Structure 1
Amino acid sequence: MDSDNISISLGELADILKAELHGDRDCRIERVATLQSASPGSISFLANHRYRSHLAKTRASAVILSPADQPECPVFSLALENPYLGYAKVASLLNSVPVLPSGIHPTAWVSTKATIHETAWVGAQAVIEDGVSIGVNTYIGAGCVVSSQTIVGDYSQLVANVALCRNTVIGKRVLIHPGVVIGGDGFGIANNNGIWVKIPQLGSVRVGDDVEIGANTTIDRGALEDTVIEDGVKIDNQVQVGHNVYIGAHTAIAGCVAIAGSVRIGKRCVVGGATAIAGHLNIADDVYLTGASQVAKSIPKSGIYSSWIPIQESLVWRKNVVRLNQLDEMARRIKALEKSQVGID
């Protein structure tokens, strides 16, 4: 396939996805689009019932959907149990990825004590310090700073203006978006009669393979032991990961989450946006925290957890807050009433 004009047949896609094909195997697909914006040559998808009303009017050449929705589809289709995953795979196949350059930009500063693979790229105004190792086909974008003794694994990308502080270890095929800081000091301070004394942060950060870290996320170095991000973790934009945190493999964390120090999160967890997790807690494997949850105790069992009030009309919310503040007094009155009813038939 031409990398600038990718095209693939619907039959090929059906074979790759192991999907049930309804339509012409030879139909050519060139791009992915929404049901509303699709045109001939596009493939769309239906993975959320909220968009089912758009199916009847779509102009897509084909739609990826569930077997239950297939009878309502007016165009060719690929039916499978997880249409969203199918969409993700097709989008990857049709995504034209530019060939990355290799070499060192003339404005970059690279230590003579660093090891840069000949296939890697170091972009404009980037800084590579002593003892750094940059792997095969790794991309260090403009303005990045890779501090001393840091390792960046093969096929990883630092898009632009990424800071990797000393002794950080980045695995293979890691994608780090602009503005990320990995390995900055954790928030370690001790109180000395009202004066805060800084605690040296002596650990580092270890990031596994196939991790993605969103823009302006910060991951602090450990105080004594390393902060660890395991393989396959996906972190959204503007997430704060405190020192000594451990995030298990294939966990996904949405934007604006705050994780305090020494939290341990298990494998395959999902943390909804704007969730806050207090320090020194343990979260089991396969835990789903809905958005804006406030986690103040450990969660030892897998499942779905929530701790925030869904949106309400402002007047209703104000009344409920007043009642919430009266709960303690109401509990005392109920207890007194129960005592007064003892012995009454």
Structure 2
Amino acid sequence: MAYRNITLKEISTILGTPIIGDDHVINSLNLINRELFGSNLTYVGHENYISYINREEVTAVILNEDVFNSVEPEIKDKKTFFVVENPEDEFYSLHNYLLKNTDFYNDDKESVYGDNLNIHPTAVVEDGVIIKDNVTIGPHAVIHKGSIIGNNVVIHSGARIGNQGFQVIYRDAVPHLIQHVGGVKIHDDVSIGANSCIANSLFDGYTEIGKSTKIDALVFIAHNCKVGKNCVITPGVVMAGSSLVDDGVWLAPNSVVLNGVEVGDNSLVCSHSLVMKDVPANTKVIGMPARKVGKIESK
């Protein structure tokens, strides 16, 4: 098989499970409730996620018999299915197999370097990185494969861009880490503080930092997060996986945004706050859990 190109019949052979529906070529594995690209194979482990199956980008689904029996007939006619006992385990086992035994994830892009770069001799830049113009990379910083660094970006000492994200599944009550295959995209005019960490995305796409955003030291931004433009992220902030911070947001020191939560445009999250649910635009929140305490005038 070629890079990002495998038939469902080939997947059927790997899984040892027959196809229900038509054979197709897929070019992506991803979680069904995430941002999807291309033609996807995904999984559903619970009936709460059945509505996602009808998404245009979903070509094939791994699920169990109970969930399959609950899928509407008109959706069954449009999608292809693999019925297994443990969909999550089979999905990640397939991911690992493709990673270790095939060229499905093997991109091997060459590095691209722009003009006027200031890369410290102790910094590590892996193969397969794109760095545009006027970029500074400080001592002992590490830029991992699959990262894209925009123009006029400053990455301070000890920062890590594109490090392995943290996705855990349990098999027989034992936690297992899932290897990530996505990237990180840093847009123009961004500053990344010392010893901050930005994880790569789990599957397709990028963890993204928007234009002109400024990130201070000791910040952790997990896989699949999206940070908008003109944001300020201060020391000790943690953004859990797939959380969203829209344009112009200020995250004060040691605040935490939980996975899948969105903080709206121009909002302020005060120090030591735990954001457990979406924050509307132009809102000030504080506390554990964070609660609204005021409005922010539009900038």
- Give the TM-score range, shorter chain: 0.5 to 0.7
Mapping of residues 1-345 of structure 1, within 5 Å: 131-224=110-203, 225-307=205-287
Aligned pair count? 181
Q: Are 2:275 and 2:288, in contact at CA under 8 Å, matched by a contact in 1?
A: no
The residue that corresponds to 1:13 in the other structure is: none
Amino acid at match of 1:199: I
Residue 198 of structure 1: how far off its partner (Å):
2.1
Residue 301 of structure 1: how far off its partner (Å):
3.2
Once residues 232 and 180 of structure 1 are traced to their aligned partners in structure 2, the CA distance between those partners, rounded to angstroms, is: 18
The residue that corresponds to 1:92 in the other structure is: none
Once residues 142 and 291 of structure 1 are traced to their aligned partners in structure 2, the CA distance between those partners, rounded to angstroms, is: 36
Identity of aligned residues (%): 26
SS of 1:197's partner is strand
Question: How much is the aligned-residue C-alpha RMSD, in angstroms?
Answer: 1.6
Residue 158 of structure 1: how far off its partner (Å):
0.2
Q: Are 2:227 and 2:244, in contact at CA under 8 Å, matched by a contact in 1?
A: yes
- TM-score by length of structure 1 reads 0.51
Once residues 197 and 291 of structure 1 are traced to their aligned partners in structure 2, the CA distance between those partners, rounded to angstroms, is: 33
Query: What's the CA shift string for 1:99-143, capped at 9, x where partnerless?
Result: xxxxxxxxxxxxxxxxxxxxxxxxxxxxxx982222110111121
Residue 248 of structure 1: how far off its partner (Å):
0.3
**Structure 2 unmatched runs, 5+:** 1-107, 290-299
Once residues 147 and 246 of structure 2 are traced to their aligned partners in structure 1, the CA distance between those partners, rounded to angstroms, is: 22
Higher RCO (C-alpha 8 Å, min separation 6): 2
Once residues 189 and 263 of structure 1 are traced to their aligned partners in structure 2, the CA distance between those partners, rounded to angstroms, is: 17
Once residues 262 and 274 of structure 2 are traced to their aligned partners in structure 1, the CA distance between those partners, rounded to angstroms, is: 14
Once residues 180 and 283 of structure 1 are traced to their aligned partners in structure 2, the CA distance between those partners, rounded to angstroms, is: 24
Once residues 308 and 203 of structure 1 are traced to their aligned partners in structure 2, the CA distance between those partners, rounded to angstroms, is: 32
Once residues 245 and 255 of structure 2 are traced to their aligned partners in structure 1, the CA distance between those partners, rounded to angstroms, is: 13
Residue 308 of structure 1: how far off its partner (Å):
5.3
SS of 2:236's partner is coil
**Structure 1 unmatched runs, 5+:** 1-128, 310-345
Once residues 208 and 182 of structure 2 are traced to their aligned partners in structure 1, the CA distance between those partners, rounded to angstroms, is: 10
